[in-house]
Structure formats: structure tokens, C-alpha cells
Amino acid sequence: MKVTLDEKATLALKDVLKDKNPDAKIRVYFAGIG
């Protein structure tokens, strides 16, 4: 199953919103695509 970058971003954002430490999650996520 192919996941587009948009879908990945949406999933990551949902993850971040559930997370207690969103800052670290965002940094890790953008480091992953950057």
C-alpha cells in the first residue's frame, strides 16, 4: 500500500496530538523527511 506524503503528515499530526511530548515528535518527524 502506497502512502502519500500528505497522508504521512496527517498520520504524524494525529500521533503528535495524542502525544504528551509533541515537540520531540515533530522534530523527529521533520528530521526524517528533511
Q: Domain residues of the chain, as ranges?
A: 1-34
Q: What is the mean pLDDT of each run of 10 residues along the chain (34 residues)?
A: 81 76 75 68
Query: Structure pTM?
Result: 0.39
* CA quadruple 21, 22, 25, 27: dihedral, nearest 10: -120
The packing angle between helices 22-33 and 5-18, to 10°, is 160
**Which three cell numbers, joined as nine digits, stand for 22?**
509533541
| 11-to-5, 20, 24 alpha-carbon distances in Å | 10, 16, 16
